[in-house]
Chains A and B, each alone.
Chain A
Amino acid sequence: MLLFRLKRTLKLGVKSLWMHRLRSTLTTLGIVFGVCSVIAMLAIGEGASQEAQEAIAKLGSTNLIIETIRPPDEQADSGNVETVRNYGLTYADAESIRNTIASVEVAVPIREIEQEGRYRNRKTAVKVIGTVPWYTEISPVQLLRGRFLSSTDMHYQQDVCVIDENIVRELFTFDEPIGEDVRIQGNYYKVVGVVGVLGKIESNANFGNNDVSMVASKGSATGNVYIPLTTAKTRFSELNYTFSGGSRRAEKVELQKITVKVASIEQVLAMRDILDALLDRIHDKKDYRIVVPLELLRQAAKMRRIFSIVLGSIAAISLLVGGIGIMNIMLASVSERTREIGIRRALGAKRRDIIIQFLTETLLLTFAGGILGIILGSLVPFLVTYFGKMPTVITAGSLILSFGISGIVGVTFGLYPAYRAANMDPIESLRHE
């Protein structure tokens, strides 16, 4: 019974709106664009933040990265020409971290050297990464061909290397790299494996957070060459000379990074304090820092919330404007249909019936607008991704949210015109021309 009445009310509502097709369509457009922009904005915001989060997640959420930094008291001994500045993480640090802290799953010492790699007549800038075979546990390197470094390589300080795809492209182009030798600083390293490129962390993750870009490498290297840490120790000097204004400065750094992995995310923050305490005791100056990807992830999540709220509220304002447009048109419609209201009242319509009639029409407009807006709003992100090369993610939440908002807009902005209609004096409205 109630359902039949509802169906009939809807049918009559559609009829009234159909009488003024152009007006109804134009009114609906406000909601269409409002809903569409809510969905599109949220999709773009979500896409951007997911990209950033993926970049950070590549660093590993259960990892802690200890980096060597140049200590701050540099100015003090700048006059001494031949002093070797000795700072940074050491092999001993890596050993003591591994040996004294029980909850450390793996500790991976990393040595990074910017060098030039050559193969036949081709050369390119490479980043030599001296590390250990279990490097794969803390970094999502993807082995494409051959093998990664082994403990035998470590033990015998083999001159072998694993290169990434960028190097393959620069040095070998179409040649098969496995088994060939890459020359770095006069030494030859046999390629035993090829790994995939590790994302573009530096270019994409700097969404206002400088730490992330510093975690990743700077400089002009086209790709990474992984060699055993023991080989790196013997082949490359730990002394690094820089010349500035005629004076020579020497620096000695053993390790650029130690990456520590713990078993679960809950242990990450506690581990940071433990590491800090341990290293603070060994190091007499602050020549290291601890980067926690998990914290970056949390910051990114916070950024993402702010981003979504800002974009969402801009879009919500356009929805509000659409709602005001609807109210305006409904008020005009009510005064235009004064006589119809009078007739209906004379024929036995209660105030409630009139309210239901006009509210139904408003809701029909907003829901039609909502559905169209959802369709358009789902298309826009695809276009943005296709033409703007920006990642977008449409979440079910944003669809429900925008549809819900358009419903609320319909009720809010429909109630007042409906009440105006219902409270007209039947005699006056019957006399209305």
Chain B
Amino acid sequence: MATVVDIKNLSKIYQLGSVEVAALDDIDLAIEEGEYIAIMGPSGSGKSTLLNLLGCLDRPTSGEYCLGGKDVSKLDDDELSLIRGMHIGFIFQSYNLIGQLNVIENIELPMYYQGFSEHESSAAAKKLATMVGLGDRIKHRPMELSGGQQQRVAIARALANDPVVILADEPTGNLDSSSGADILNILDGLHQKGKTLIVVTHDDNIAAHAQRVIHLLDGKIEKEIYNKA
């Protein structure tokens, strides 16, 4: 299997006044295609920083990050936007759907920015909406959907450009337990289809779904635990 995420000596240092704070300190991490990874750790351990770097929202201070075989650690803003749009799917804790757009239009958004025609993207979006079980609600606005449904739209949106990795940040954090279980089932399903998943969470139950759990502490990888299949 190919390595989709290859991180070597990655550091991110923030300058807070005169003090330098290393949010990530010389991390090495390799993730294979199709892996299901959970990242855990207390607040301030560098989870969010790692997620932002993995998601190409930020650039590392030093070190190397290859995504799908391409070094993305030194790209400029426009190139990073392109990488995000083409190779990364985001799932957020608070769903982050756009209020004035309906379900279909929200799912279409990543394709819109990649220049797909409306014809192509709306057909693909409809398929994805059906896949997450919202085929009958494609014209609804996010406000008219429950939290679980909104998160399913967000998952469909994350899949829109067939990304190399899917990054989920506390995907069930805002949901009740039964909706949360739904979402986790969908993620399991994606894993079975061979998608690469990286989930950031506090919750051990969620981490239990993953194949490998990475524990961060003070910007370093404390331990990696492989769950039994």
Contact = CB atoms under 8 A, between A and B. Distances in A.
Interface of A: 1, 4-5, 8, 12, 15-16, 18-19, 339-340, 342-353, 426-427, 430
Given A8-B112, A15-B100, A343-B96, A348 B86 contact: yes
Interface string B96-116: 111111000100011011110
A254 B160 CA distance: 100
Interface of B: 52, 55, 57-58, 77-78, 81-82, 84-86, 90, 92, 96-101, 105, 109-110, 112-115, 117-118, 157, 161
Nearest to A5: B115
Contact of A348 (B77, B82, B92, B118): B82
B113 A430 contact: no
Nearest to B112: A8
B59 to A, nearest CB: 11
A5 B86 CA distance: 18
| Overall SS of chain A's interface | helix
Given A8-B118, A426-B57, A430-B96, A347 B113 contact: yes
Interface centre among B81, B82, B99, B113 (most CB of A within 10 A): B81
Contact of A353 (B86, B96, B100, B113): B113
Contacts, number: 69
A349 B96 contact: no
Given A4-B118, A427-B57, A348 B98 contact: no
Contacts of A4: 117-118
B82 A350 contact: yes
Nearest to A9: B112
Nearest to B86: A348
A346 B57 contact: yes
16 contacts: A1-B115, A1-B117, A5-B115, A8-B118, A12-B105, A15-B100, A18-B100, A19-B99, A343-B96, A344-B109, A347-B113, A348-B86, A349-B81, A427-B52, A427-B57, A430-B92
A339 B52 CA distance: 16
B45 to A, nearest CB: 17
A353 B85 CA distance: 12
A15 B101 contact: yes
Nearest to B101: A15
Nearest to B83: A348
A16 B100 contact: yes
Contact of B113 (A15, A348, A427): A348
A283 to B, nearest CB: 84
Contacts of B99: 19, 340
A412 to B, nearest CB: 25
B98 A340 contact: yes
A351 B58 CA distance: 15
A343 B117 contact: no
A351 B78 contact: yes
Contact of B85 (A342, A343, A348, A426): A348
Contact of A346 (B84, B118, B161): B84
A8 B115 CA distance: 11
